[in-house]
Structure 1
């Protein structure tokens, strides 16, 4: 495969991943407006290197300082933390290896502290799933291999309401 083809695939993957994150952010806003949860996208850890283009618009060239943390962090209305990573694929399965070491460590640490932790999965930007971290992070013991098929994702499928993916439906809320 040529470098140009790899570049095109990379750009497409980045664009589709960004679209999935936009869908999730819209869902987070839906729950914020209803007083159910406040969940925000975690900014990527970047360091500005030099100004770029029109300085008045705040444009700059930057580099990533370290591997990203889980994509979204927040709190449910009962006070518990909720953390999730967003992963998209155009294939008929999702690999456990899409989670980086840093993301895995973050999800493990937050879960140990009592947070609700998930991996939100997009299959072709058509079907969406909320997989508990304890399942996604240990596919080998659950399925005998390190990937999940559409059939195995089925119990975690999310509903949609008027274009909003209902990412928190079924997450148990506790009274304080």
Structure 2
């Protein structure tokens, strides 16, 4: 029983690490796009408040609200962009990994004309899946998850980070 608990905690820490690294390489691409004058996109931190301060810059904190999507900004020309970042080591990216709050915000921004989607990593490949595709996953693919073979047209390269605006094919 104790072994199983350890495995669950270890897997959770491992997944958290993969997710943080995934967001970091997306941020690297944001920096590249900013320097090239293509877009201004920033990582949005989760809302929290500090409960207690400790020495060495450490603190105890508490989340104050459900998280919004991970990245927001503006593309050259003025169109807004908003997307959630999701990574998995499995062979599928599940629709329900986007929280209700994130779904609500992404859907509203999509309806207002923003460039909206999910930047997804499945094992060693990366994708920017448009919101229209994400929300219609069940009708498009017959299930509420996607595999690499489903979304090849939305694959994006890894160069200066995960180049989420640079589809390898005609995904845009």
State the TM-score, normalized to the length of structure 1. Answer: 0.89
Q: 1:165 & 1:43 partners in 2: Cα distance?
A: 19
Deviating 4+ runs (over 4 angstroms) = none
Q: 1:88 & 1:160 partners in 2: Cα distance?
A: 14
Report the CA distance between 1:52 and its aligned residue: 2.4
Unaligned ranges ≥5, structure 1: none
Corresponding residue number in structure 1 for 2:129: 131
Corresponding residue number in structure 2 for 1:118: 117
Q: 1:118 & 1:50 partners in 2: Cα distance?
A: 36
Q: 1:90 & 1:53 partners in 2: Cα distance?
A: 37
User: Is 1:167 equivalent to 2:137 in the alignment?
Assistant: no
Corresponding residue number in structure 2 for 1:43: 45
Aligned ranges 1:1-176 → 2 under 5 Å: 2-54=4-56, 57=57, 59-124=58-123, 126-161=124-159, 163-169=160-166
Q: 1:51 & 1:137 partners in 2: Cα distance?
A: 42
Cα displacement string for residues 62-84 of structure 1 (whole angstroms, at most 9, x for unaligned residues): 01112210000000010010001
Report the CA distance between 1:165 and its aligned residue: 2.5
Cα displacement string for residues 99-155 of structure 1 (whole angstroms, at most 9, x for unaligned residues): 10001001001111111001001112x210000011112211111110111110211
Report the CA distance between 1:166 and its aligned residue: 1.9
Q: 1:112 & 1:142 partners in 2: Cα distance?
A: 20
Unaligned ranges ≥5, structure 2: none
The SS at the match of 1:83 is strand
Q: How many residues align?
A: 167
The SS at the match of 2:55 is coil
Q: 2:108 & 2:76 partners in 1: Cα distance?
A: 21
